[in-house]
Amino acid sequence: MFHNAVRILYFLVLVLFNIGKVLLKSDSEHWDMVFNEREESQLGWFEKDFLQTFRLLNLIPDWQKSTILLPGVGTSKLVEELIRHGCRLILNDISPEAISKVNSRLLEKKANITWLCQDISQPLPESSPPVDIWIDRAVLHFFTDQNDIKGYFANLKSYLKPGGYAIFAEFSLTGREKCAHLKLHRYSVDEISDRLGESFKLISSFDFTFTNPRGEPRPYIYALYKRN
């Protein structure tokens, strides 16, 4: 009986290990599961308002006339706020489920939107238009592989116009090590600056502790850069 119990325990460990491996893979299936299982207001990054994003946007002259790319839009209602201000949008997400939810929600408001559905660490289609502003809230920190991180920044540098702006909101070095069952690469402003390189100037940055829907604090860094 003891040996049977050991075998059962070993089997359970293998099952849990394999489940863990699946959950730790950031791909479209994983994110479809996340957006299928929870309402937007239950997601760990859900915001009732977008004050911190607009705090940085308002430092950009005439941002309302801009083409803005959201590299991981999820189901965020930041989309409606940007449309309300007259922006042209390029909306991307790795999850077809997230893109479908946003698309169906917007109804008649889709005239100035380009839709993409891909891993933002992989090369964007050559037909993708250049952008004035790149807004990343909690996307970059999900990439832990160095090649994926390099691919992300290569896309940013390829499609952000000279004189354009990039906004980042990522888990800080004091933030949680995981989110949505995935390991994170947490950031300092210095690291983002190094990865962007000398052609980008830091305009503003600040620390912000976001409180998620479960009432848990999540330390973020926010940063705004201008491309030379």
Q: What is the pLDDT of residues 125-159, one digit of tens each?
A: 999 999 999 999 999 999 999 999 999 999 999 99
pLDDT of residue 16: 41
Q: What share of the chain is helix, strand, coil (3-state, %, to 5)?
A: 40, 25, 35
Q: Of all residues in the chain, what percent carry a pLDDT higher than 70?
A: 86
CA atoms within 13 A on the CB side of 78: 24
Residues of the chain with pLDDT under 50: 2, 5-6, 8-24
pLDDT of residue 36: 83
Name the residue with tokens 């503003």: 204
* Rounded CA separation 182/196 (Å): 24
Which of 3.30.499.10, 3.40.30.10, 3.40.50.1370, 3.40.50.150 is the CATH number of 26-227? Answer: 3.40.50.150
* Rounded CA separation 1/12 (Å): 17
* List of residues 6+ apart from 123 with CB closer than 8 A: 151, 154, 155
* Rounded CA separation 85/139 (Å): 23
Contact 118, 159 (CB under 8 A): no
* Rounded CA separation 210/199 (Å): 30
pLDDT of residue 82: 97
End-to-end CA distance of the chain: 71
pTM: 0.86
